[in-house]
Amino acid sequence: MFMILRTMFGLVVGWIASALFGLLGRHSQGSLAVRPDRRQFLRNAALGAVGSVLALTGAGFGLLLWPNKTGAFGSELTVRAEDVPPVGAPPLRNIQGKFFLVHADDGLLALYTKCPHLGCTVPWVGPPDSPQAFQCPCHGSMYDYVGLRTGGPAPRPMDYMTVRVDEATGNVTVDTGDINERLDYSPEQATPYSA
């Protein structure tokens, strides 16, 4: 399909280039009455076709090099109000966004599922009041409900993403491109939620 389109595009551009070059040639000779000969036409058509192929090839390479976003990770994702977990309940997991939305006493936290140790995905193992609510199955790092490290080799708590609340609807926006590191937990890390 692409080859057919490219050929048609080349022929059209060739025809336009031919007409344009012919017109310029006639104009430079001072007479608009002189028509381009067959040789001139073929040369201009060939030049136009080659030019269009080069342009399309360049555009194709450009598209190949253009960074492709995979999935929704890195963008802002919305969690509907009805999906926000109650205070102290097991978190909502968002696989695309790679976060757990936990509802602590201070508010909402979107915990990045990637362990800050070696990058494994840390699953929820619960219960919420356990010091190992999250635990890496590979190397054993453990975290409590708000992502604080309670054991294992991880160098710091789980990272968290910026959360915003739409007061009118109760919907929550998690910015999965804005990931914050921390050394401890403080209430300001949580976003109050009252909807």
Binding site for ligand FES (CB under 6 A): 115, 117-120, 136, 138-141, 152-154
Shortest approach of ligand FES to residue 119 CB, angstroms? 6
Bridge partners for 76 per DSSP: 175
Shortest approach of ligand FES to residue 142 CB, angstroms? 9
Nearer to ligand FES, 80 or 139 (CB): 139
Nearer to ligand FES, 151 or 187 (CB): 151
Shortest approach of ligand FES to residue 154 CB, angstroms? 5
Contact status, residue 108 vs residue 172, Cβ threshold 8 Å: yes
Nearer to ligand FES, 113 or 189 (CB): 113
Q: Which residues contact 33 (CB under 8 A, 6 or more apart)?
A: 26
DSSP state of 171: -
Gap between the Cα atoms of 5 and 119, Å rounded: 45
Nearer to ligand FES, 14 or 116 (CB): 116
Gap between the Cα atoms of 46 and 36, Å rounded: 15
